[in-house]
Structure 1
């Protein structure tokens, strides 16, 4: 069940077999870092949990902030491959990535 609220957040009830990437794909709401789970860790979700997307309207619409540069992730790319061994951690932090090992084609990363 997907619920849209007046504060522009979206709540989804986790179904058996769901993953956060599956929920994001099903709802079209990226990045994963904008999701929260009751456990505090989006990698620990269980059927019946309610997970919440609190992305900004800019992230949901696909537009990006005019401050700074943006890289659109291509298939097969990794953070360290894009930003180097010294830069990937800063980019992960800047984009609030809960798991820097999980980036997706089409995802917009500020740097």
Structure 2
């Protein structure tokens, strides 16, 4: 189920699921999808990896950029402050 900030490209990277033409959306166009759409790869629904990814934030990093580059929505990420909009260099962001 597509979440805000997710992209087909990001999902393909996260799952190593290539080619992009094997992804399917309700619209039939992988460039047109919406939050809440169920997308599939080769007819199989994708699920997020259970182990997730983590990174120590450095100056200039954003949680959004980190999350989307790994195929996650920011609402699947946590930071020490508990507020995804408040983080500092040295904090660890985890997306699951």
TM range (shorter): 0.3 to 0.5
Greater helix content: 1
Please, what TM-score do these two structures have when normalized by structure 1? 0.39
Which structure would you say has the larger RCO, counting Cα contacts within 8 Å and 6 or more residues apart?
2
